[in-house]
Structure 1
Amino acid sequence: MRIVSFLTDPIVVVAILQHLELPHSPPPISPARGPPQGDFILDQTPAFDPTEAEPPPDFVFDQSLPDEFDD
């Protein structure tokens, strides 16, 4: 695509757009809104109470190899 001409006269531009039945005025500007992160409460964890903490589970870690690895 090659630019053949560039129209700078607003009266001419509006006349051409009206003739082509295209919008000849800019769309309305919407008001700005805050970022969506501002809607969240970041700290949603309950307060830590060490008296209510669960004891760690007892794990038994078996380090023996299965029988098929015995040579």
Structure 2
Amino acid sequence: MNKKLMRTNYSDKVLLGVLGGIARYFGIKPIILRILFVIGLIPTSFLLIIPYTILSYFMPREQAEESTSR
């Protein structure tokens, strides 16, 4: 099994696709990770935005799937 940590393009993307990509990598629903992220923003005074921004810069984007069926 060859899993890669990548930002999602469309299916699980809300803002930049970071949380959707992490959720896909760990096999959990993206909404659960997004809720935990928002809950985590409150006590940390929005310090989670820094690693989110860094991850959005360094995580590669998922390649768009091209349909080749004719």
Q: When the two structures are superposed, what TM-score results if normalisation uses the length of structure 1?
A: 0.21
Higher relative helix content:
2
